[in-house]
Chains A and B, each alone.
Chain A
């Protein structure tokens, strides 16, 4: 076991994949300079060397600021033998390439009757909570959940970031990885060497009996804080991190709700048609008879992200809002 940060874990997964398979390449803006610290062996070029030194300019490629061709060319390269990783830096930059994501990346395997295979990973960082304002701060995964053909990972720990990313690179389907910047510095002991975490398998972050909290991305550590506070009040919270939204491990959530009878979904994305809405619908449709209280969503309201920290930070699910929702769920007494 080695203490590793979230960013370090992403770097390790990329490095191991690059070492294991010559077909893996990384393209993106500023990837050669290792701007975000995910493209190197250590903290600096002098430390253990960066990817450009390790793998050379044929496989580590700076791109122009041209998201459409970055995304489309990665898809075309994936269809013809490479396994590209595209570093799109900010998640909001994905919008520049929407046609390529939707009409080409998501649909090519289907529309061409299975002839196309797209082993490609699109990584991007969600900078919300860091005063980067509306053009840099979205959590856009729900809009991609709405488009079949894409797989979506939202790792909330260094272990998950490394294991899921390695699975994503091995996969023959296109994967979008949404990495929250607020988690970049999170550190934990992680298993040494190569390992993979399968898609579609949720993690029970904390076992409990009174309320199920399904938490996504930064809502996971927030839910943990809430659960610790609530424990002092005698409320036992079970926290489930789906880790991947597509595929989504509905059984894990349904089994937990069958046990607790109460569900809070904490999702940093916007409210309407968000991940929380979909998860709530699955439970309402498939486990209605288990519910002792209405499902409660804790999301970001349907607004844009303001610049000022005085009005930004409280918009996202946090330990207080999640704890309040749990208390409200527990306070509701079943009528039957």
Chain B
């Protein structure tokens, strides 16, 4: 697919946002500025942005514990995301979700799930809404190779297929469920499982190429939007950091040669070269984007710094639409 230069540059901008946001988050974890646990998308930016950019405004998506990239890729403001990571009142979830459970309904991000696979039925429901109400919107469910072995995925794929729902099942295959290599717990090729549900299943072997991901997901999104039903897209990728920040395992479950070969395929560097070699942008333009994104991250951190912590009363809010009466 031929894309406008502006779109190509926006892809690079969003990948950089994820990279710099997550690099900063990683530092903040080490300094003790972010409580709880953090999973970065460093190395997987092409897979996230290629998928998000294939969606339109008004489209919805759900994700998982590796959650920052998804709303950033869909265009969410960085300040409220950073404020959420540090548990502040101006956080996108008011400080009640944290790193693993971001959601920004303004950009169609219906929530990231800390339970592996658990948000897939939610994305299916958004697709049902679109179908019943004839909204023409598409829903996308991000999930990892680990979630590919959860039963709810297959319940969702079957239901989506028989109902012809406008949904894309997007498997982010970074090849490890924490320390467990996918091939040791996963029979066959994940993309092939689509055949059992009478839907297209494709594997993007080069998940470090934002354009390759975009093309595959866009095909699936267009198919969904035109009423032809769901697709499964499996994207091969790799996380450059540990499963979660600060995790130290006695055994290195990933071999050095494998790691090195993937580190050479940094999606942001690859796409930078592409943009430059194809005359999409000159060095100055690319450098400008990099410094602009760096400034956005600084501003997001400042926004988070300036935010107050939530009042204790917030812990009792939003359980229901309004507080229950009586002794509860």
B125, B158, B326: the one contacting A64 at CB < 8 Å is B158
Total interface residues in chain A, CB < 8 Å? 53
What chain B residues lie within 8 Å of A205 (beta carbons)? none
Q: How far is the CB of A268 from chain B (nearest CB, A)?
A: 22
The reply on A309 being an interface residue by CB < 8 A is: no
Q: Can you spell out 30 A-B residue pairs with CB atoms less than 8 angstroms apart?
A: A23-B133, A58-B131, A66-B155, A66-B159, A68-B155, A73-B156, A73-B159, A75-B125, A77-B125, A77-B126, A77-B128, A79-B110, A79-B122, A79-B126, A80-B110, A80-B125, A82-B129, A82-B132, A99-B118, A99-B152, A103-B118, A111-B111, A112-B97, A112-B103, A114-B94, A117-B321, A151-B320, A200-B324, A247-B324, A282-B327
Q: Are A110 and B152 in contact (CB under 8 A)?
A: no
Bound complex: CA of A115 vs CA of B91, how far in Å?
A: 12
The stretch among A130-138, A155-163, A248-256 that forms the contact with chain B is: A248-256
A113 near B92 with CB under 8 A, answer: yes
Shortest C-beta distance, A172 to chain B (Å), equals 5
Asked if A269 is at the interface of the complex by the 8 Å CB criterion, the answer is: no
Q: When the two chains form their complex, are residues A66 and B318 in contact, meaning their CB atoms are under 8 A apart?
A: no
Interface size on B, residues (CB 8 A): 54
Taking CB as reference atom, which chain B residue is nearest A286? B327
The 10 closest A-B pairs by CB, nearest first: A76-B125, A72-B121, A113-B94, A113-B93, A76-B122, A69-B155, A66-B155, A73-B125, A77-B125, A80-B129
| B128 neighbours in A (Cβ, 8 Å) | 73, 76-77, 82
B123 proximity list for chain A (CB < 8 A): 76
* Pair B326/A115 contact, Cβ less than 8 Å: no
Closest Cβ of chain A to B32, distance in Å, is 24
Q: Give the Cβ gap from A240 to chain B, nearest Cβ, in Å.
A: 13
CB distance from A142 to the nearest CB of B (A): 14
Q: How far is the CB of A219 from chain B (nearest CB, A)?
A: 20
Q: Does A266 contact B (CB under 8 A)?
A: no
The answer to whether B173 has its CB under 8 Å from any CB of chain A is no
| Assembled-state Cα–Cα distance A77/B130 (Å) | 8
Contact B129 A72 (CB under 8 A): no
Q: Is A167 an interface residue (CB 8 A)?
A: no
Contact of B119 among A84, A104, A171 (CB under 8 A): A104
A194 CA to B50 CA, complexed, in Å: 50
Also in contact, A64 and B129, with CB within 8 A (given A76-B124, A111-B97, A149-B319): no
Question: Are the CB atoms of A111 and B93 closer together than 8 Å?
Answer: yes
Instruction: Give Cα A64–Cα B124 distance, bound, in whole angstroms.
Output: 14
B interface residues (Cβ-Cβ under 8 A, vs A): 60, 62, 91-97, 101, 103-105, 110-111, 113-115, 118-133, 135, 139, 151-152, 155-156, 158-159, 162-163, 317-321, 324-328
Q: Does A239 contact B (CB under 8 A)?
A: no
Inter-chain pairs besides A64-B155, A251-B326, 9 sampled, C-beta below 8 Å: A69-B152, A72-B118, A72-B156, A74-B125, A76-B129, A79-B125, A108-B111, A112-B97, A113-B91
Q: Are A72 and B321 in contact (CB under 8 A)?
A: no
Bound-complex Cα distance A247 to B324 (A): 6
- Within 8 Å of chain B (Cβ to Cβ): is A43? no
A109 CB within 8 Å of chain B: yes
A99 to B115, CA, bound (A): 8
Given known A-B contacts A80-B110, A103-B115, A112 and B124 have beta carbons under 8 A apart: no
Contacts of B97 in A (CB 8 A): 111-113
| Option from B114, B132, B156, B327 in Cβ contact (under 8 Å) with A59 | B132
A→B interface (CB under 8 Å): 23, 25, 58-59, 61, 63-64, 66, 68-82, 84, 99-100, 103-104, 108-117, 148-149, 151, 171-173, 200, 246-251, 282, 286
Distance of A231 Cα from B12 Cα, bound (Å)? 81
Q: Closest residue to B120 on the A side, CB-wise?
A: A72
Q: Are A104 and B96 within 8 A (Cβ)?
A: no
Q: Which residues of A contact B125 (CB under 8 A)?
A: 72-80, 82, 84
Query: Whole-angstrom distance from the CB of A94 to the nearest CB of chain B?
Result: 15
| A81-B326 in contact (CB<8A) | no
Bound CA span A169–B95, Å = 30
Q: Which residues of A contact B119 (CB under 8 A)?
A: 104
CB–CB B121/A148 < 8 A? no
Q: Is the CB of B155 within 8 A of A104?
A: no
Q: Which residues of B contact A63 (CB under 8 A)?
A: 159
In the bound complex, do residue B133 and residue A82 qualify as a contact, i.e. CB atoms below 8 Å apart? yes
Closest to A149 in B: B319
Q: Give the distance in Å from the alpha carbon of A256 to the alpha carbon of B151 in the complex.
A: 49
Residues of chain B within 8 A of A100, CB atoms compared? 118, 121, 152
CA A74 – CA B128 in complex, angstroms? 9
A25 touches B105 (CB 8 A): no
Contact (A113, B133) CB under 8 Å given A80-B60, A108-B111, A173-B321? no
Query: Which residues of the partner chain B approach A282 to less than 8 Å between Cβ atoms?
Result: 327
Taking A64-B158, A82-B132, A103-B118 as contacts, is the C-beta distance between A109 and B318 under 8 angstroms? Answer: yes
- Residues from chain B with Cβ under 8 Å of A114 in the complex: 94, 317-318
A304 to B328, CA, bound (A): 30
B159: chain A residues within 8 A (beta carbon): 63-64, 66, 69-70, 73
Taking CB atoms, residues of chain A closer than 8 Å to B155 are 64, 66, 68-69
B62: chain A residues at CB < 8 Å are: 76
